[in-house]
Structure 1
């Protein structure tokens, strides 16, 4: 079952002599429970693709289908509902609200859908326990480490049980050990809870956790590495991914 289908989408920015083709007839299919990493050099189109998938920007051509629903013609209200109910976001800089506690940050997206507060609180506490923050529910974000704040952001992204989780450089502000912890948590949610995850990253160590790595260049998908069926050993995966990215830079 496909959670996401991107069909031949294109996007151009600018006018006349200043036109830039950010996406050029891109196709992508992501199945339920799949973990996909999108990689590419700066300006390759990977963040633009993420914006199209989330409805934060509109396509010029093609279709974006989430659970077989074409989001192209959604109005602003419908797109807001889509992002609130079907998509979870994990950002590089956490985007937590400093005046709210950990628990309040996690529950906020669910309470916006008119869910019952007690049920939402219980679900949030269970998620916070899963990410190792069960004892921090009444703590403010400023008292947490960067890694702990990102764990809160992951729990917040999952509170509405989204069909799709989008992460934009989720380890970009973290040290290598904390990054590894974050990716293990995200990998766990895919494997054990069946969540579908798309991560935009420049880090081969992060991409190595994925089931599939999609490489972009000049607005196109130029290569795909299926790690599930690659036959590569663990110590070879990062090297192969890094080599492919280096080739795109030449």
Structure 2
């Protein structure tokens, strides 16, 4: 972790107003209901994790918040309704998005991928260089030739270049080697010092390290909200909600993964 950077609130929300409020959110893809009556809020600091088994609507919830799929319901950013706005306008309000499948521009270089993501007058290139020194060395390399972990770093770097009110981060450690999982977690921990994060993640070791709060979704509905520590300390509840039989490992080895 980079020392000496003070934690500041740049969300535009006060301590009493969540940075994100979702009420009665439903969403459809190709006519099929994928999110149904989801309600939760994200405080203006820290990491809120969205958990659940595969296919229950976690990724669809993030996409619905951002307006990437057909949706109904209420979405407020720092107290202001945005559910009637296009995705590009929501992004310009200060919402960064790291998609599940990275979605780098394979034919462009690392540097070109990052330049395309810049929307601030003064992008935070120094922060990105500190967090991802490997990307500096590979600036001229085409993104499509990078490893999966390196592509994930490009995807994270694109979001972190800009000053955001909120980051939506979807499955950032999916398919990565344990060492790369650690590097990605380090970057997210540093980002969370200055911007709240709504994180979809399956690796409970990552959740244990990063998240302060959890929202559990099942069959397109919220079935549990509360402190992350409270849920992780209850193996029976973890198994019931997430289908995970193993407890989170507190000794630094690879942890349980919700399936």
For normalisation by structure 2, the TM-score amounts to 0.75
CA contact (8 A) 1:3 1:32 kept: yes
Pairwise CA RMSD of aligned residues?
Answer: 3.0
CA contact (8 A) 1:10 1:26 kept: yes
70, 81, 94: which one aligns with 2:89: 81
What is residue 94 of structure 1 aligned with on the other side?
102
What is residue 49 of structure 1 aligned with on the other side?
61
Shift of 1:219: 2.0
CA contact (8 A) 2:29 2:70 kept: no
Matches within 5 A, 1:115-194: 119-120=122-123, 123-133=124-134, 134-191=136-193, 194=194
Q: Paired residues, what number? A: 228
Shift of 1:142: 4.1
What is residue 71 of structure 1 aligned with on the other side?
82
For 2:182 and 2:235, how far apart are their aligned partners in 1? 13
112, 116, 128: which one aligns with 1:108: 116
What is residue 211 of structure 1 aligned with on the other side?
212
Tell me the SS of whatever aligns to 1:96: coil
CA contact (8 A) 2:96 2:167 kept: yes
What is residue 5 of structure 2 aligned with on the other side?
none
CA contact (8 A) 1:58 1:72 kept: no
239, 242, 245: which one aligns with 1:245: 242
For normalisation by structure 1, the TM-score amounts to 0.77
More helix by share: 1
6, 26, 31: which one aligns with 2:43: 31
Tell me the SS of whatever aligns to 2:96: strand
More deviation in 176-185 or 89-98? 89-98
CA contact (8 A) 2:65 2:83 kept: no
Query: Alpha carbons of 1:140 and 1:239: their partners in 2 closer, same or farther (altered >3 Å)?
Result: farther
What is residue 10 of structure 1 aligned with on the other side?
26
| Structure 2, unaligned runs of 5 or more | 1-13, 246-257
For 1:173 and 1:84, how far apart are their aligned partners in 2? 30
Shift of 1:243: 6.0
Tell me the SS of whatever aligns to 1:137: coil
Q: Give structure 1 regions of 4+ aligned residues with deviation exceeding 4 angstroms.
A: 12-15, 236-243
Shift of 1:231: 10
Shift of 1:227: 2.8
Shift of 1:56: 0.9
| Structure 1, unaligned runs of 5 or more | none
